[in-house]
A = this chain, B = another copy of it.
């Protein structure tokens, strides 16, 4: 039994690669999917496909429509969602994706530095598990497969 894990959240660090490598070295039967990690591509995808838009707001609107389509397709296929918050940026799309996971009954692991506990308290309360580091998130994933659960 293979599980699909959607990795929501910040795209300015390489935390996804780190997580993938560690999961592989543990031989966890997990496949990771997630958003476009190339920030420029993510911001320009609307105009890349549909051409120049009249204003920056409409440039953003067409880009976000394609990013949301990607997220919906991949989250629908997922068994678990991990959402990672960092110190920088607004990250409202991360909060949105995490909340969607909860509404779809997809178990949610929230990764956030302790410093963010106050502004994330309501989302943390809705998440199944809140951790501070990727290693902790990985241990939660790993726990699902412990004790001969999966052949």
List A residues at the B interface (Cβ < 8 Å). 1, 3-4, 31, 33-34, 36-38, 41, 45, 48-50, 54-58, 60-74, 76-77, 79-80, 85, 89-93, 95-100, 102-105, 107, 109, 114, 116-126, 128-129, 131-132, 136, 139-140, 143-144, 146-147, 149-151
Contact = CB atoms under 8 A, between A and B. Distances in A.
Given A92-B122, A100-B99, A103-B100, A70 B1 contact: no
Q: How many monomers of this chain does the complex have?
A: 8
B144 A1 contact: no
B67 A150 contact: no
Nearest to A128: B69
Interface of A is mostly: helix
A106 to B, nearest CB: 8
Contact of A120 (B1, B3, B45, B92): B92
A66 B109 CA distance: 9
27 contacts: A3-B73, A36-B147, A38-B147, A49-B143, A60-B118, A60-B124, A61-B121, A66-B129, A69-B129, A69-B144, A70-B143, A71-B122, A72-B105, A73-B79, A74-B149, A90-B116, A90-B120, A92-B95, A93-B119, A93-B123, A95-B99, A96-B96, A96-B99, A96-B123, A97-B99, A100-B102, A100-B103
